[in-house]
Chains A and B, each alone.
Chain A
Amino acid sequence: MNTVLKKTAIATGIIGLIVLFIQFCYKPYIKWSRAHVDYITAVEDHPLNCLSCHLYTQRTGLIAKLINADYYSPFNMAISADGKSLFIVAEEAGMLMIADTEKGKVIKKIKVGDQPHSVILDKAEKYAFVSNQWSDNVSVIDLAEMAVTNTLKTGNGPAGLALSSDEKKIYVVNSYASDISVISLESGKEIKRLSAGNNPSGIRMSADKSRLYVTSRRALLAPYGEPVVSELTVINDEDRIITKREHVESAYMIENVAFTPEGDLAIMPLIRPKNLVPSIQVDRGFIMTNGIGIIEQKPGGRIIQLLLDEPNEYFADPFGVAITPDGKKAFVSHSGVDRISVVNIDSLRKIINEHSTEELEFYSNHLGVSRRFVEKRIKTGANPKGIVVSPDGKRLYVAEHLQDRIAVISTETLETINTIDLGGPRRVTVARQGRRVLNNADGTFQTQFTCYTCHPDGHEDGLVYNMASKDMGRNLANTQSLRDIGDTPPYKWNGKNHTIYKQDGLRFSTVLTRNEPFNYSDLDALVAYIVTGIPYPPNLVYNPTGELNAMQLRGKYFFERTHDSYGNEIPEKNRCITCHPPPYFTHLQMEDVGSLIESDDSMLFDTPHLNNIYASPPYLHHGLALTLEEIWTIYSKNDNHGVVDDLTKIELNELIEYLRSLSGPEYYRDDNKKLQARIIKRKNSKK
């Protein structure tokens, strides 16, 4: 046995030496690998490191398990009335964690659904409710038993939660379906569905308990050139009807909202994008600005927007907002710059009262106004998201999303006084580092925006930008999703970037971030994260079980058909399936589908992938098609984007229904047993 071991060791050693020799000494190999790495990275000085591409981008198998780690990623939080228990949603772990704030440690972990988003408590603190964004349900946790005792079915993508004032109903913001479920807590059944803005997220009851505000992340769909407008949906709690759809002009990504205890103001973090202005520079807020919206709670109350940014420093991706019980301070988390802005609410009131609406409109684009109401910026760990103030107003808790930690900040000294470690892995994996890079604005000049800003949740922000290619005002670009794009080169609509390395390398820094390019270690990490860490959410609306319904099956027929309704053979290149084959529904080639518009230079376009296409409006490279239907009813001429002219209205609807059913690429791979098991589980739970 020893002899065998010895021989194996010697053989392994020899092979290892040969490999090392070839790798470091054999000139033809070195030359080849240099050329290979140069091709992949589109630069000539990227280190010859095989691991970055061939190890850290592994998505499945033992190696993937070894190089990655299971993090908790705290997201939103709630706190008990006595301030002793902190309820933390662990997004990646699918858990609710309960921390003892006095001991500063986690005392209980309760498994909930996929990608939990928010948690709230009832007044008696008998129950905690957790929305599970990828499971389309709400976990009801009995806090005496410390266990999930019920699951409430919701709409698609449940996010923000609020209880009605009588606590008999729960409002669930369905972020993917853009509506709100009103669920009776007695029956556990949904009793009403209210339509909301585009991609709603946060919900909060007003101080007088009469109405609820629901914020939207994406702007309402509109043709390029129309103002960017996001909806703030107002619900009357008593009647459970929508009383107003407030338009928040020039803003989007409104994640949350909070009311002052006096009830005179509501404050919501927001981003003011500049997508209609040619992206010719970052300086002077030409791409993104970050601020707050202040909603006056009086008849005829205005929505005022003020920037939190400063002339030479921007505070990217405002997310959470919390107000102290005395109504003196508001805190806003900036997940893109690892900071908390401390807002003096009396100063806000003064600004609002001193200026006319026109003047405030002017100030909504003014980088100097923040010095009049921001008291301090507090440094936090990576990617601060949800924040809560303790009931006594003395402490602010910050969910450091990519640090697996809760920061405890004194609201008096405005210093971090403690942290609660959630007990996640100590090591920062390459993909985790990549996720931090994607979520951090350090890579952008004066930290104006992050990759996440235009790609929230790794997806896209629904906006069309004028990237000022060649001349200003030409070649509009509809933001594309980053979900599972590792196997779908080339990148960009014009397909000029053959790898993610090229897409996010020097080109990216020269034309977009206008900052020093990512160092190669961070670029490797970013690529690893993009390739491995951004899956599609399950398509629970249009394809919950993995089986197509009758309408979708008919649509599938049209998608794959070889002959039109008159029996004529459709040329192969004009069949949907030719350019859009599974699993990604792209053949990775450049095509002309007649979508060029006057402001485009003559070019072919990269065929986009169609997975979860229902969640990516607007459509086409210019984003002018606001719905899937419009691709053919308005923007396709002479059957050059597939043959559809022969279809009846119903048949076109069936085709579209099939397109909506398209799910992540794993659904179309035969060998994915885990997925099959998940689908079976869903089928069973449905029964």
Chain B
Amino acid sequence: MNPRSVFKILTLLLTIQVCIITVSCKSRSAGDDLLVLTEVPVAMRQTVHHSGIHSRYLPEARISSVKPGKQDSHRILTGDFYSACWPDISYNGKFMLFAAQEQKDQPWQIYEMNLKSHKYRKVISVNDNCTDPAYLPGDRLVFSKLTLNDTVKSAHCLYTCNLDGSGLRQITFSPCDNYATTVLKDGRILTVNTQLLPDHGNSILMTMRPDGTKADMFYMNKENGSIPNNPRETDDGRIIFIEYGEADSHAGQVVSISYNQPLHSRIELTQGTPVCYSVTPVGSDKYLATGYKPGEERVSLYEFDPANKTAGKLVFTDPEYDIYEAVPAMPIERPKNLPSEVDLLVKSGLILCQDVNLADIETVKNNNPIVKATMIEVLGVDSTYGVVPLEADGSFQLKVLADLPFRIRSFDENGRVVNGPSAWLWLRPNERRGCVGCHEDPELVPFNRIPLAVKIPPVIIPVSVTEIKEKIVELE
């Protein structure tokens, strides 16, 4: 064989290899990655809650993995646990955080598993139930923990910690349950938030920075007060989740909102009888949904076709288990690692409101409110923190003890309530936060004018505290 022939054969082989790699890359879609499933025995179906905080503690649940289209590749990953659920995959696709209960009467804790070796370790070891872990940039994680204290009474607050469990920090401080947390590409946490006190309130999607600052409503279904669950961000700038109506005891509707304009972009991707338990975007244009298919009794995993609003090809089913959720074990882009303004040596935060009397377009149409607020009351969980007069332009500036939940309501000069109380707020140590108005249209930005309240020192809240001696922090 002469050298030219050898060269030709080598070139041919190389070309074939390149073609194979190219074809395999092209045909490989995101959905071909390993899927990690949360499964619950069919026998437990009637005892499972599907919305609210109770939906986060699934009895006798297990986490398994399967390769799409290969039923026999199904493998149980959490056989050592009484119950395990809600896996979150690391950004490199190699690890998984999950919540699990070793024994039935033991608290739920957070674990991390190597998806290759299946070795796992306990990340959090506390006496209270923990659930819904999600990876944060910077080798940290966020999770929900049942918190019992005088401030929040009994609520699932969010906490963050390092992946080795150190550096544990509480980041939400209101009497609200926070669960089903995910992390947006912009670096903020997106969580389902349900007010517990003084009344059980609506469930909303709330965002905050990983240090617990700038907590704000992201989405709320004002029309029917339905409950969102398991939100996920898609690659094309949407948030997709399951929404449960009050009457929906089992499944819910798949709903999508735009990241850019979450309050005015709601699209129902399913209609009619609710059939879905969860929906997960896979790559840029594919969705997996768990739920019933019409005529089927099993809760299985399907490809979801948002255009036709139907479950498509069956991906996986198990005769003895309902599939509650599926997440692909694939690398994803790391969200932004937001810097923190929190300084734990500082004891307070500042909040500035530009004009309490500014609300929405209706106030403008009605030639501004007939009754104008002249003062606000800052309410705590059990008591009032004080009444503060407003400046002539409707502005106020408060220096509030950090990590203290409070609500604000406004009064007119005759002491009649004009607006409020607001949703629960809190300020992290050294947080500075601004509002445009009171119960204002959340799409409003401030007018470019100096609020009178910044020309005088802030009012300390609670007003019973006369002075807060603390470290001076210079931001700029």
Contacts and interface: CB of A to CB of B under 8 A. Distances in A.
Given A284-B434, A470-B472, A365 B445 contact: yes
A228 B475 CA distance: 25
B445 A286 contact: yes
A492 B448 CA distance: 24
Given A362-B364, A516-B339, 9 more contacts: A313-B259, A313-B260, A365-B444, A368-B443, A468-B432, A470-B474, A472-B458, A514-B338, A516-B336
Interface in A244-259: 250
A445 B186 contact: yes
A275 interface: yes
Interface stretch (A231-239, A401-409, A503-511): A503-511
Interface of B: 137, 186-187, 214, 216, 259-265, 336-341, 350, 352, 354, 361, 364-365, 367, 397, 432-434, 436, 441-451, 454-455, 457-458, 472-476
Contacts of A492: 476
Contact of B340 (A281, A289, A510): A510
Given A275-B448, A445-B186, A506-B339, A470 B454 contact: no
A469 B454 CA distance: 12
Nearest to B447: A365
Interface in A194-216: none
Nearest to A377: B260
Contact of A472 (B186, B216, B350): B350
Given A359-B365, A511-B476, A272 B448 contact: yes
Contact of A278 (B216, B260, B434, B436): B434
A464 to B, nearest CB: 11
B445 A284 contact: yes
A538 B447 CA distance: 38
A307 B444 CA distance: 11
29 contacts: A273-B448, A274-B448, A276-B448, A276-B450, A278-B432, A280-B352, A280-B433, A281-B214, A281-B432, A281-B434, A283-B214, A284-B216, A286-B446, A312-B262, A356-B365, A362-B364, A365-B446, A366-B443, A366-B444, A368-B443, A468-B432, A468-B475, A469-B475, A470-B475, A473-B450, A473-B454, A510-B341, A512-B476, A514-B339
A475 B432 CA distance: 16
A398 B462 CA distance: 56
Nearest to A467: B476
B436 A284 contact: yes
Contacts of B442: 284, 311
Nearest to A512: B476
B307 to A, nearest CB: 20
Interface in A359-394: 359, 361-363, 365-368, 371
Contact of A510 (B262, B265, B339, B447): B339
A129 B214 CA distance: 52
A469 B265 CA distance: 38
Nearest to B443: A368
Tell me whether chain B's interface is mostly helix, strand or loop, or mixed: loop
Contact of A310 (B261, B397, B476): B261
Nearest to B209: A514
A28 interface: no
Contacts of B263: 311, 368
A312 B259 CA distance: 7
Nearest to A509: B339
A469 B216 CA distance: 24
The A interface, classified by DSSP as helix, strand, loop or mixed, is loop
Contacts of B361: 359, 362-363
Nearest to A358: B364
Nearest to B265: A371
B449 to A, nearest CB: 5
Contacts of B448: 227-228, 250, 272-277
A327 interface: no
Interface centre among A473, A514, A517 (most CB of B within 10 A): A473
A278 B455 CA distance: 11
Contacts of B472: 470
B445 A446 contact: no
A472 B449 CA distance: 13
A273 B446 CA distance: 10
Contacts of B350: 280, 471-472
A225 B450 contact: yes
B260 A515 contact: no
A337 to B, nearest CB: 12
Nearest to A469: B476
What are the nearest 10 A-B pairs in CB distance? A285-B445, A473-B454, A467-B476, A280-B432, A368-B443, A310-B260, A510-B339, A516-B336, A472-B454, A367-B443
A277 B458 contact: no
B475 A285 contact: no
A506 B341 CA distance: 11
A471 B434 contact: no
Contacts of A399: none
B476 A475 contact: yes
B306 to A, nearest CB: 20
Contacts of B441: 366, 368
A277 B364 contact: no
Contacts of A286: 434, 445-446
A313 B259 CA distance: 8
A466 interface: yes
Interface string A435-479: 000000000011000000000000000000011111111010100
Nearest to B361: A362
A250 B445 CA distance: 13
A274 B262 CA distance: 24
A361 B339 CA distance: 34
A362 B366 CA distance: 13
**Which of B263, B451, B455, B474: most chain A Cβ within 10 A?**
B474
A8 B447 CA distance: 70
Given A510-B340, A516-B336, A469 B474 contact: yes
Q: Which residue of A228, A250, A272, A367 has the most chain B CB atoms within 10 A of its CB atom?
A: A367
A376 to B, nearest CB: 13
A250 B443 CA distance: 18
Nearest to B451: A277
B263 to A, nearest CB: 7
B264 A371 contact: yes
A359 B364 contact: yes
